[in-house]
Amino acid sequence: MNTRFHPEKLSTDLYRAMYNFELSFVDCTIELPLRELVKLRASQMNQCAFCIDMHWKDARAGGESEQRLYGLSAWEESPYYTDRERAALRWTEAVTHLHDGGVSDEVYNEVSPHFSEKELSDLTGVIVAINAWNRFAVASRAHAGYYQPQSANA
């Protein structure tokens, strides 16, 4: 499969804005390991091979276990996740699949005890960002398999 186009080269201002948006999460209230799980789960849902490859590798470089990563697509049946992580994954699925009628009050009520309002806002931002990246990567047919985490390059 050939890459269709390179948004980082063709839409540089847009790409830079998205990258800066992504950088804003470095110091957000959502811990990095949870951000990686959320990014990986949304990428699985969106069938984005490039982002699955990237966030699997980033999660592993950050110390995440293989067991928790390969269990992620069946997180509801897997015993490897905390209540906070489960709430974040539930929120990720609801925000990613808006065509199912939006984010219901039921999901919000289930998730909100695990996150402050600021945390829930930050978590939503992380989900919005990865969904945007997924759409660019899927539409452009970005090649998966070549990404290396920064810590692996050091």
Note the pLDDT tens digit of each residue in 38-63: 999 999 999 999 999 999 999 999 99
- 33 token code pair: 């390991």
Q: How far is CA 6 from CA 25, 101, 137, 139, in A?
A: 24, 33, 9, 10
For 145, which DSSP code?
S
For 104, which DSSP code?
-
Query: E strands within the chain?
Result: none
> Would 49 be classed as within a structural domain?
yes
pTM of the prediction? 0.92
In terms of residue numbers, what domain contains 103?
31-148
Structural domains of the chain, count: 1
pLDDT at res. 49: 97
* CATH label of the domain that carries residue 131: 1.20.1290.10
Main-chain phi, psi angles of 61, to 5 degrees: -65, -30
